[in-house]
Structure 1
């Protein structure tokens, strides 16, 4: 699990592609200091497993599902990437719950300054994502935990402070740039549970004892 607070901007050193399978080698100094084989590192918001490493690089495999869902296959050698190690128990939770399981990709359709902030407008062709993207809710863009400013049926906006822009790879992305999007996991779970509510056999759902009569009898009403 991640929090969406980027620790370091790395650089893509090498890619090997075979069909919809990839291997990435990424240069980084901070996230490789205490890395071990099998560790999880989010790369532009995609949770990847470390398969090899040395003092300044780590390698990770990209499976076909990740290849199709994310924009990792669009990266070129030398491109900057946002990096975050998995959250440690007991650490501060500065962003929101991020799984590193990208739901889809979007395209930056505009970028403009708003006083000390920069506002990005992002469009996606997947309308299903917008049931989980709500104004003032959380969304992850290239692994960055951000607050949604506004949203309609095919696009949403996020406002980014100078510090976040300077410390992430988003500073180099302009109109037309692709980004990875992960929507709020809490919204997805609630939606899933509500979808199945009432579909279970009546015998399987325990009957609640919390009734108006019970509340009256015990002085709550």
Structure 2
């Protein structure tokens, strides 16, 4: 489990068909084999650590459901270690299980923040509510407005400076993870309706 509070911007240093090598001084400092680290919001398992570089295996299913396959050496990625029982929940409950890949439609520079317009993949809009939480590339954010399959978020200077969202523009893909509580409520209500039919 994660909180959607990015700890550092890491750098891709190696890409193999089923493995990524990632430099991240903070997250690698205490990482060990078997630990979970969210990479752009995707929960991956550490396979090895060498100084400030850690390796993760990536299987075909993960590549098929995310944009990780487009990463190349030098690309920056959002990194967050798994939460502990003592972790402050500064964001919201995040699993690191990507629900879909969408895209940034446009950015608007405001006085003190950026407003970012995004498009959701089909089927996810029902889980998004105004003022609710969403995870974008591993970053816990609040939905400002939603209409159809498009929504907006605001990015403060800290988020712009310390995450990849400050580097991305129109047309760039992003990972979305919707609030897990919304999906559980939907399933419970569907089961209840099925039982009463």
Same fold (TM over 0.5): yes
CA distance in 2, matches of 1:66, 1:153: 27
Structure 2: gaps of 5 or more residues: none
Matches within 5 A, 1:1-221: 1-17=1-17, 22-124=18-120, 126-200=121-195
1:151-188, CA deviations, whole angstroms, 9 ceiling, x for partnerless residues?
Answer: 11121111011011101111111111111100000101
- Tell me the residue number matched to 1:218: none
The SS at the match of 2:27 is: coil
CA distance in 1, matches of 2:184, 2:163: 29
Structure 1: gaps of 5 or more residues: 203-221
Residue 11 to residue 132, structure 1, CA distance change in 2 (3 Å)? same
TM-score, structure 2 as length reference: 0.96
CA distance in 1, matches of 2:122, 2:96: 20
The SS at the match of 2:26 is: coil
How much has 1:201 moved relative to structure 2? 8.2
CA distance in 1, matches of 2:50, 2:196: 55
CA distance in 1, matches of 2:64, 2:117: 23
CA distance in 2, matches of 1:134, 1:108: 18
Aligned length: 197
How much has 1:192 moved relative to structure 2? 0.9
Misfit runs of 4+, over 3 Å? none
1:88-114, CA deviations, whole angstroms, 9 ceiling, x for partnerless residues?
Answer: 112211000000000011111101112
- Please say which structure displays the higher CA radius of gyration: 1
8 Å CA contact 1:127–1:153 kept in 2: the answer is: no
How much has 1:82 moved relative to structure 2? 0.1
8 Å CA contact 1:136–1:150 kept in 2: the answer is: yes
The SS at the match of 1:186 is: helix
